[in-house]
Amino acid sequence: MEIFNTEIIKDESGRLTYIELPFNAKEVFDKQKGAIFVIGTINDVPYRNKLISRGGGKQIMTIDKSMQKELDFIGEKMSVHITMAPENNEIENENSLIPSLSVSSIDVVTAIKTRRSIRKFTSEPISESMLNTVLQSGMYAPSAKGKCPCHFVVIQNRDMLMELSESNYNASMLGGAACGIVVCGDKNIEGIKEFIYADCAAAVQNMLLSIHGLGLGGVWCGVRANSDWHKLIVNKLNLPLKVDPFAIIAFGHPDEERVSRELWDASSVHYDIW
Ligand SMILES: Cc1cc2nc3c(=O)[nH]c(=O)nc-3n(C[C@H](O)[C@H](O)[C@H](O)COP(=O)(O)O)c2cc1C
């Protein structure tokens, strides 16, 4: 257990509130690879969090809005007393809890070329292993600095799917989908808005390809920032302040066939110079 005093800092953009560790957690916690989860207290308030690497052996830990409130942090530098220990047991448990997964026999280029948006679904439910495979595909997407800021809210409750479908004409297919996955970005993990969008988009496309590869069908439903639908999703799903919904994937067993189109466009390619 490490015990130290430090300051809570708000970065210049005002979007990231964090503490900087006065030691190299990779060395001190003997964890050279992978995410470092830590537990402890800040001024006696307990926390569980993931450290963010800043390069050069430096790590920070973000302080989310609810923790800021508990600490009475008002946006100015604040001295705090920290206890911190690695959450080794939990990490081992998390790894040993990797669920059973499905496989796809379709090659990646064929999957990319034959994927289409599917908006009609049968009533057949999605198996657990297929659902987990889709979720895992989102988790394997590239993300800026490997921060993995995405959260995935799985919706299988019919009333909730209907409510989300009825509140947005463009997402009406959610009402007939076996499942919806709300892909969200964590603003405390990735402070740059454009990177959150890019990271979530990469996750969504990975998941759509996986859905297609598994013989399912799905469609990307965009969630516009600050739209009424965005507000409704935040509200209905009780999303914390740091979590921003980016898209909902509606998917299920397909009840329509859509053919692949030829999308090669030579005019969009520029060699060496425009
Ligand atoms: C950012 C984004 C938002 C989208 N939002 C919706 C949507 O709200 N409703 C919908 O039916 N399709 C939506 N789509 C799917 C597109 O309509 C679809 O990908 C496009 O028409 C091309 O068809 P394809 O996916 O079959 O190749 C969205 C796609 C993207 C990339």
- What is the secondary structure of 221-247 as a DSSP string? EE--TTSHHHHHHHHHTT--TTEEEEE
Q: pLDDT class for 92, splitting at 50, 70, 90?
A: very low
- 137 pLDDT more than 50: yes
> Does residue 187 sit in the same domain as residue 90?
no
Nearest atom, ligand 1, residue 261 CA: 27
138 within domain boundaries: yes
The percent of residues above 70 in pLDDT, for the chain, comes to 96
**Strand (E) or helix (H) holding 188:** none
Q: What is the pLDDT of residue 109?
A: 95
**Domain boundary pick from 94, 121, 138:** 94
Nearest atom, ligand 1, residue 204 CA: 31
**Residues spanned by the domain of 70:** 2-94
CB contact at 8 A, 119 and 173: yes
> Does residue 210 sit in the same domain as residue 102?
yes
152 within domain boundaries: yes
Compute the distance between CA of residue 79 and CA of residue 146 in angstroms, rounded to an integer.
30
DSSP string, 56-77: TTEEEEE--HHHHHHTT--SS-
> Does residue 8 sit in the same domain as residue 116?
no
Compute the distance between CA of residue 68 and CA of residue 186 in angstroms, rounded to an integer.
16
Distance (angstroms) between ligand 1 centre and the Cα of 80 equals 47
Check pocket membership of 219 for ligand 1, CB cut-off 6 A: yes
- 90 pLDDT more than 50: no
Per mean pLDDT, which range of 40-54, 78-92, 100-114 is the poorest? 78-92
> Does residue 232 sit in the same domain as residue 120?
yes
Is 3 in a helix, a strand, or coil? strand
211 within domain boundaries: yes
AA letter at 72: D
What CATH number is attached to the domain comprising 149?
3.40.109.10
CB contact at 8 A, 80 and 8: yes
Distance (angstroms) between ligand 1 centre and the Cα of 118 equals 10
Per mean pLDDT, which range of 97-106, 108-117, 255-264 is the poorest? 97-106
- Taking CA atoms only, the protein residue closest to ligand 1 atom 27 is 116
- Number of structural domains in the chain: 2
The mean predicted confidence, pLDDT, of the chain is 92
Check pocket membership of 222 for ligand 1, CB cut-off 6 A: yes
> Does residue 85 sit in the same domain as residue 124?
no
Distance (angstroms) between ligand 1 centre and the Cα of 187 equals 25
What CATH number is attached to the domain comprising 74?
2.40.30.100
> Does residue 82 sit in the same domain as residue 213?
no
257 within domain boundaries: no
271 within domain boundaries: no
Reading the block at residue 65, the tokens are 């809005």
CB contact at 8 A, 259 and 115: no
> Does residue 43 sit in the same domain as residue 176?
no
Compute the distance between CA of residue 218 and CA of residue 19 in angstroms, rounded to an integer.
41
Check pocket membership of 26 for ligand 1, CB cut-off 6 A: no
DSSP string, 72-96: T--SS-EEEEEEEEE-HHHHHHHHH
| Residue of 169, 221, 233 with the most ligand 1 atoms within 8 Å of its CB, for mutation | 221
> Does residue 165 sit in the same domain as residue 231?
yes
Q: pLDDT class for 50, splitting at 50, 70, 90?
A: confident
Which residue has better confidence, 42 or 93? Answer: 42
Q: What is the pLDDT of residue 270?
A: 97
Per mean pLDDT, which range of 20-29, 114-123, 150-159 is the poorest? 20-29
> Does residue 217 sit in the same domain as residue 136?
yes
- 217 pLDDT more than 60: yes
Q: What is the pLDDT of residue 190?
A: 92
75 within domain boundaries: yes
**Domain boundary pick from 55, 76, 94:** 94
Compute the distance between CA of residue 193 and CA of residue 37 in angstroms, rounded to an integer.
24
216 within domain boundaries: yes
Is 28 in a helix, a strand, or coil? helix
> Does residue 103 sit in the same domain as residue 213?
yes
Exposure string for 202-240, b = 16+ CB within 10 A, e = fewer? bbbbbbbbbbbbbebbbbbbebeeeeebbebbbeeeebe
195 within domain boundaries: yes
Distance (angstroms) between ligand 1 centre and the Cα of 116 equals 9
Distance (angstroms) between ligand 1 centre and the Cα of 117 equals 7
> What does each C-alpha distance from 88 to 20, 34, 104 come to in angstroms?
21, 12, 33
Check pocket membership of 63 for ligand 1, CB cut-off 6 A: no
Check pocket membership of 209 for ligand 1, CB cut-off 6 A: no
Check pocket membership of 197 for ligand 1, CB cut-off 6 A: no
Question: Which residues are paired to 264 by β-bridges?
Answer: none
> Does residue 208 sit in the same domain as residue 235?
yes
| Average pLDDT of the residues in 12-30 | 89
Reading the block at residue 135, the tokens are 């979720």
CB contact at 8 A, 218 and 211: yes
> Does residue 83 sit in the same domain as residue 204?
no
Compute the distance between CA of residue 190 and CA of residue 186 in angstroms, rounded to an integer.
6
**Domain boundary pick from 94, 111, 140:** 94
